[in-house]
């Protein structure tokens, strides 16, 4: 069918222009070609993108279930059908074989603090709290940075609004594959995005230019959201008869208040990281992602380890300015050493380019983090933090086939990525 | 009294004897102590391959010998470099280090700057620094120098002053003025040459040098290269045109789109300073290639272009963003390798080629006998993300020792 299609393409090229003088005959030709083309399109889709792949790997880093040398991954309908040692699995005929037997295969990376493809919609700086705003509507699938991010192995991204206000709106969770936001979407409300301090105070206005003011603003909106949620829960349980009024804003917030989506808090420094843990985790019992967690935030790392919060480090990767002993402290390494298990790494793209997520991992390792934790920090840990570890973040049967193929460690800067799968489709292939 | 004198004389005689004996028997020993040996490492010489399990001997701040079977003089100071990489100190072709205020760099060097000690910890032993630059419609300006970050030692800091003429070639006014001045200088030189040949003393006496063309004369005589920034292919071609007309030497900084005009750059022998990760969006209004690519360095290499690599930020930053400033110069070169460049050329781009471009390759940039003993010892390959500098030597002296410095001594990789 492929050769047929090629011929049709040539014909089309030669006869395309309607001003051609052969007139009616030509239109008939064109119609035939059109029908043929329609037919062939289906064939092309199948020929170029078979639904079933068998990836032969020199090494599979499953992340959650150890490493398999000389393994095979079967992909069907966008998900992982089988993961096994090559010796234990016969590849059925209908699978197209991707030979990566001299390479490593690992899960696609998950970024939870990014502003990728959100240009022009990050900060609506009129009022300090904006629970009605969603960045899902801003995402530009044509963004120049997306193909580069894919080529580096980033496959899932949570794009969030900025930190210019205390409550900038809601992030969106999506795959880097698809022509429209709907095609890409994993969850339209990725996270509730809060900013503790170090930026929101720049917004003018009456209240919220100090940490006191900002904390009041945040507690006030959280109380309102909580009240709305409680009223609706009571109504749904039949405890109250009268249907409560609906509010788009609080409807968004309800998901965070009730824990179906996490709350990602832009915060940094020992003082503010602690304030984040106290307010959002202790007081309001939200699923809290302590994001950035930079400057001297690591000095309260033990407090984070005690709580069920997730620490998402970046884009800064070390502290020197606040260390007070002339030492460079690797932030991820310090949190890990203090016992923080829910640890991930971000780029805050475009603060750092989205494609440098792996490099953030390399730098975390440079400053003392172990390689295994670094890999978890850009895959399963970030997936878990955002509540999609049942779909992405590791190579397991039933999960989305989001894979990176590379001739070595993800963190080795000198080695380029060879191939990236998203939802079982080849999203990137290196030119050879 | 007399007895005392006798005793004292005996003492003196004894002392003299001891001194004589020491001088006669132990003088070779003294000489040996001035020798430093770096023993057992993999020597990345840059200019003549990798010598496994080799030794470098250093004397008087210079490299004395390099090789595998070198006898180490008794009592030489020995640095055990087994399982380490030994290579020339890194050369930063653009940097901001060790220079305080003031317009003359030689007078504003500050060997106690924090940046100087960070440079040592990052393995950088030579750096090009500049002050000021062209302003307004003036296409040239500013001063520059090559320095070594010899912490606490002002005397050895300055290597060379004025290694290039900083220029700007962006505004049309600047361009026009640059051309006009070169033409003025060219016309003057032509007349000077003509009258000298004809031995026309009268005309030679009458000939007046136009004002403000001294620098342009130096450029025309190729005593100095012009150093300017040109990111787009069009800007680079402007400079190509200038070389066609005047035959000057040029160094282009931040040549993001150089890959598009690599052949012309090679043909005109332009030297480049590039940052593989620097980005430029493709111009969607033109069908010709445009924008940045990680393959820039690889394409340039294929075309035969000489280039140095510098990081996105030419500073030593301490505010937390990792791997994008001079603290991680080799990482930027590693990204060029990711884009298809061979490892050897990438290493050259942060050592010998960088040294060539800033005009100090006769002294630094490779492990060669007779060169300055500016050497770094690493705990792994320079392009590996785990690698730290363990020792940095400048002019044969250990100026940085990871285990004794607070910066990174607490960081170890156990996995």
pLDDT at position B7 over 70 = no
Contact assignment for A413 to B411 by CB distance below 8 Å: no
Mean pLDDT, residues A373-395: 98
**Touching check for A359 and chain B: CB below 8 Å?**
yes
B140 shares its domain with B183: yes
CB–CB of A112/A264 below 8 Å? Answer: yes
A407 shares its domain with A307: no
Mean pLDDT, residues B106-112: 95
CB–CB of B314/B306 below 8 Å? Answer: no
Task: For residue B33, name the pLDDT band (cuts at 50, 70, 90).
Answer: low
CATH of the domain at B391: 2.30.40.10
Contact assignment for A413 to B334 by CB distance below 8 Å: yes
Q: What is the mean pLDDT of chain B?
A: 92
CATH of the domain at A94: 2.30.40.10
A269 shares its domain with A123: yes
pLDDT at position A7 over 70 = no
Task: For residue B136, name the pLDDT band (cuts at 50, 70, 90).
Answer: confident
pLDDT at position A215 over 60 = yes
Q: What is the pLDDT of residue A30?
A: 46
Q: What is the pLDDT of residue A16?
A: 38
Long-range CB contact pairs, A47-53, < 8 A, 24+ = A47/A1, A47/A2, A47/A5, A49/A425, A49/A426, A50/A94, A50/A95, A50/A96, A51/A76, A51/A77, A51/A424, A52/A76, A52/A94, A52/A95, A52/A96, A53/A95, A53/A96, A53/A97, A53/A98, A53/A401, A53/A421, A53/A424
pLDDT at position A288 over 90 = yes
Task: For residue B103, name the pLDDT band (cuts at 50, 70, 90).
Answer: confident
Evaluate whether residue B323 is within a structural domain. yes
Contact assignment for A363 to B322 by CB distance below 8 Å: yes
A228 shares its domain with A277: yes
B316 shares its domain with B233: yes
Mean pLDDT, residues A177-187: 96
A294 shares its domain with A388: yes
A98 shares its domain with A162: no
pTM: 0.90
Q: What is the pLDDT of residue B216?
A: 96
A242 shares its domain with A302: yes
The model's pLDDT over A393-410, given as tens digits with 9 standing for 90+, comes to 999 999 999 999 999 999
Task: For residue B10, name the pLDDT band (cuts at 50, 70, 90).
Answer: low
A336 shares its domain with A213: yes
The share of chain A scoring above pLDDT 90, in percent, equals: 82
Measured CA to CA, the distance from residue A77 to residue A52 in angstroms comes to 7
Q: How far apart are the first and last CA of chain B?
A: 75
B296 shares its domain with B191: yes
B343 shares its domain with B392: no
Evaluate whether residue B20 is within a structural domain. no
Contact assignment for A416 to B413 by CB distance below 8 Å: no
**Touching check for A149 and chain B: CB below 8 Å?**
no
Task: For residue A99, name the pLDDT band (cuts at 50, 70, 90).
Answer: very high
Evaluate whether residue B378 is within a structural domain. yes
Contact assignment for B386 to A365 by CB distance below 8 Å: yes
Q: What is the pLDDT of residue B253?
A: 97
Residue B192 lies in domain = 90-364
A18 shares its domain with A70: no
Evaluate whether residue B413 is within a structural domain. yes
CA of A244 to nearest chain B CA: how many angstroms apart?
48
Lowest-confidence pick of A4-8, A105-109, A204-208, A251-255: A4-8
SS3 for B367?
Answer: coil
Task: For residue A137, name the pLDDT band (cuts at 50, 70, 90).
Answer: very high
Task: For residue B113, name the pLDDT band (cuts at 50, 70, 90).
Answer: very high
Q: What is the pLDDT of residue A22?
A: 43
Q: How far apart are the first and last CA of chain A?
A: 25
CA of B339 to nearest chain A CA: how many angstroms apart?
7
Buried-state track A360-386, b at ≥16 Cβ within 10 A, e below 16 = bbbbbbbbbbbbebbbbbbbbbbbbbb
Evaluate whether residue B1 is within a structural domain. no
How many helices (H) and strands (E) chain A has is answered by 12, 19
The model's pLDDT over A11-43, given as tens digits with 9 standing for 90+, comes to 333 333 334 444 444 444 545 555 554 444 444
pLDDT at position B8 over 80 = no
A207 shares its domain with A231: yes
Lowest-confidence pick of B3-7, B77-81, B200-204: B3-7
Task: For residue A205, name the pLDDT band (cuts at 50, 70, 90).
Answer: low
B136 shares its domain with B39: no
**Domains held by chain A: number:** 3
Mean pLDDT, residues B153-167: 96
CATH of the domain at B290: 3.20.20.140
Q: What is the pLDDT of residue B224?
A: 95
Task: Find, in chain A, the residue whose alpha carbon is nearest to that of B280.
Answer: A144
Query: Considering only CB atoms, which chain B residues are within 8 Å of A418?
Result: none
Task: For residue B326, name the pLDDT band (cuts at 50, 70, 90).
Answer: very high
The residue among A259, A277, A273, A123 whose CA lies nearest residue A191 is: A259
Mean pLDDT, residues B322-330: 97
Measured CA to CA, the distance from residue A64 to residue A344 in angstroms comes to 15
Measured CA to CA, the distance from residue A323 to residue A321 in angstroms comes to 6
Interface test with B, best of A313, A328, A369 (most B CBs within 10 A): A328
Cα distances (Å, whole numbers) of residue B258 to B175, B329, B361: 20, 21, 24
Mean pLDDT, residues B389-408: 98
Contact assignment for A359 to B323 by CB distance below 8 Å: yes
Q: What is the pLDDT of residue B44?
A: 98
A22 shares its domain with A66: no
**Touching check for A432 and chain B: CB below 8 Å?**
no
Cβ neighbours of B67 (radius 10 Å): 12
**Touching check for A322 and chain B: CB below 8 Å?**
no
B163 shares its domain with B263: yes
Angle at B237 between CA B236 and CA B239, to 5 degrees: 70
* More reliable by pLDDT, B362 or B30: B362
pLDDT at position A197 over 80 = yes
CB–CB of B111/B154 below 8 Å? Answer: yes
Evaluate whether residue B7 is within a structural domain. no
Query: Considering only CB atoms, which chain B residues are within 8 Å of A293?
Result: none
pLDDT at position A306 over 70 = yes
Query: Considering only CB atoms, which chain A residues are within 8 Å of B322?
Result: 316-318, 360, 363, 366-367
B99 shares its domain with B71: no
B295 shares its domain with B217: yes
Q: What is the pLDDT of residue B9?
A: 58
Task: Find, in chain B, the residue whose alpha carbon is nearest to that of A331.
Answer: B320
Total length of chain A: 432
Window A:80-109, CB contacts with B under 8 Å: none
A286 shares its domain with A360: yes
Evaluate whether residue B5 is within a structural domain. no
B397 shares its domain with B260: no
**Touching check for A358 and chain B: CB below 8 Å?**
no
B38 shares its domain with B145: no
Residue A15 lies in domain = 2-48
A211 shares its domain with A309: yes
Give the CA count within 13 Å in the CB-facing half-sphere of A111.
34
The model's pLDDT over A150-171, given as tens digits with 9 standing for 90+, comes to 999 999 999 999 999 999 999 9
Measured CA to CA, the distance from residue B345 to residue B301 in angstroms comes to 8
CA of B386 to nearest chain A CA: how many angstroms apart?
4
Contact assignment for A295 to B406 by CB distance below 8 Å: no
pLDDT at position B339 over 70 = yes
Residues in Cβ contact with A19 at an 8 Å cutoff, skipping those fewer than 6 apart: none
pLDDT at position B45 over 50 = yes
Q: What is the mean pLDDT of chain A?
A: 90
B415 shares its domain with B309: no
Evaluate whether residue B223 is within a structural domain. yes
pLDDT at position B355 over 90 = yes
CA of A109 to nearest chain B CA: how many angstroms apart?
19
pLDDT at position A9 over 90 = no
B205 shares its domain with B335: yes
Closest partner residue to A411 (CB to CB) among B319, B385, B408 is B385
Task: For residue B174, name the pLDDT band (cuts at 50, 70, 90).
Answer: confident
Query: Considering only CB atoms, which chain A residues are within 8 Å of B120?
Result: none
ipTM of the modeled complex:
0.91
**Domains held by chain B: number:** 2
């Amino acid at each position: 069918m492929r050769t047929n299609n090629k011929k049709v393409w040539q014909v089309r090229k030669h006869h395309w222009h309607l001003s051609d003088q052969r007139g009616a005959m030509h239109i008939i030709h064109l119609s035939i070609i059109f029908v043929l083309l329609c037919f062939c399109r289906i064939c092309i889709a199948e020929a170029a993108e078979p639904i079933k792949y068998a990836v032969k790997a020199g090494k599979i880093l499953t992340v959650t279930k150890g490493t398999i040398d000389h393994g095979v991954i079967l992909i069907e309908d966008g998900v992982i059908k089988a993961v096994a040692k090559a010796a234990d699995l016969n590849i059925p005929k209908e699978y197209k074989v991707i030979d990566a037997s001299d390479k490593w295969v690992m899960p696609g990376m998950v970024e939870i603090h990014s502003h990728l493809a959100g240009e022009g919609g990050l900060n609506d700086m009129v009022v300090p709290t904006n629970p009605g705003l969603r960045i899902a509507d801003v995402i530009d699938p044509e963004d120049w940075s997306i193909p580069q991010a894919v080529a580096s192995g980033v496959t899932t991204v949570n794009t969030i609004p900025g930190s210019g206000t205390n409550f900038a709106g809601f992030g969106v969770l999506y795959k880097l594959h698809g022509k429209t936001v709907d095609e890409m979407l994993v969850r339209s409300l990725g996270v509730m995005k809060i900013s503790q301090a170090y930026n929101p105070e720049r917004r003018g206005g009456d209240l919220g230019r100090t940490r006191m003011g900002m904390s009041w603003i945040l507690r006030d909106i959280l109380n309102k959201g909580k009240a709305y949620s409680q009223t609706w829960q009571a109504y749904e349980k039949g405890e109250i008869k009268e249907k409560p009024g609906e509010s788009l804003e609080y409807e968004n917030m309800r998901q965070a208040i009730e824990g179906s989506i996490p709350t990602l808090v832009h915060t940094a420094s020992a003082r503010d990281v602690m304030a984040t843990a106290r307010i959002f985790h202790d007081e309001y019992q939200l699923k809290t992602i302590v994001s950035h967690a930079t400057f001297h935030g690591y000095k309260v790392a033990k407090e984070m380890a005690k709580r069920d919060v997730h620490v998402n480090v970046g884009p800064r990767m070390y502290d020197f300015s606040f260390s007070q002993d002339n030492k460079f402290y690797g932030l991820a390494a310090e949190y890990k050493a203090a016992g923080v298990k829910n640890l991930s790494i971000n780029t805050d793209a475009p603060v750092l380019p989205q494609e440098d997520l792996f490099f953030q991992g390399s730098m975390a390792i440079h400053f003392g983090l172990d390689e295994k934790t670094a890999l978890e920090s850009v895959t399963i840990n970030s997936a878990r933090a955002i509540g999609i570890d049942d779909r992405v973040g590791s190579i397991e049967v039933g999960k989305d086939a989001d894979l990176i193929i590379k001739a070595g460690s993800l963190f080795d800067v000198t080695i380029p990525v060879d191939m990236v799968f998203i939802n079982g489709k080849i999203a990137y292939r290196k030119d050879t | 009294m007399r007895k005392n004198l006798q005793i004292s004389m005996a003492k003196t005689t004894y002392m003299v004897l001891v001194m004589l004996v020491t001088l006669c028997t132990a003088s070779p020993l003294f000489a040996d102590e001035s020798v430093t040996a770096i023993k057992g490492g993999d020597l990345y010489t840059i200019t003549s391959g990798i010598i496994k399990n080799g030794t470098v001997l250093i004397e008087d701040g210079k490299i004395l010998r390099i090789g595998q079977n070198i006898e180490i003089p008794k009592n030489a100071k020995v640095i055990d470099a087994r399982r380490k990489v030994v290579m020339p100190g890194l050369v930063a072709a653009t940097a901001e280090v060790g220079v305080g205020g003031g317009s003359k760099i030689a007078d504003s060097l500050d060997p106690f700057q924090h940046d100087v000690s960070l440079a040592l910890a990052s393995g950088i032993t030579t750096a090009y620094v500049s002050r000021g630059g062209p302003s307004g419609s003036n296409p040239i300006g500013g001063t520059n120098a090559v320095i070594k970050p010899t912490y606490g030692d002002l005397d050895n800091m300055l290597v060379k002053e004025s290694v290039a003429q900083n220029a700007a070639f962006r505004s049309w006014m600047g361009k026009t003025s640059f051309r006009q001045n070169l033409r003025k200088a060219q016309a003057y030189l032509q007349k000077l040459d003509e009258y000298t040949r004809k031995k026309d003393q009268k005309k030679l006496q009458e000939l007046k040098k136009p004002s403000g063309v001294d620098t342009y004369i130096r450029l025309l005589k190729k005593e100095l290269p012009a150093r300017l920034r040109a990111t787009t292919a069009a800007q680079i071609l402007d400079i190509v045109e200038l070389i066609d007309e005047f035959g000057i030497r040029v160094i282009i900084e931040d040549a993001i789109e150089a890959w598009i005009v690599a052949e012309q750059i090679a043909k005109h022998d332009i030297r480049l300073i590039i940052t593989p990760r620097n980005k430029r969006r493709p111009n969607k209004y033109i069908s010709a290639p445009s924008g940045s690519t990680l393959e820039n360095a690889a394409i340039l290499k294929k075309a035969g272009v000489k280039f140095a690599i510098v990081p996105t930020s030419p500073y030593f930053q301490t505010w937390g963003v990792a791997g994008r400033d001079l603290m991680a110069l080799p990482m930027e070169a590693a990204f060029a390798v990711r884009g298809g460049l061979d490892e050897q050329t990438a290493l050259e781009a942060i050592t010998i080629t960088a040294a060539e471009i800033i005009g100090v390759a006769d002294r630094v940039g490779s492990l060669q006998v007779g060169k300055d003993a500016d050497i770094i010892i690493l705990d792994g390959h320079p392009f590996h993300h785990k690698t730290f500098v363990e020792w940095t030597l400048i002019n044969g002296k250990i100026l940085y020792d990871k285990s004794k410095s607070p910066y990174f001594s607490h960081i170890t990789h156990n996995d």
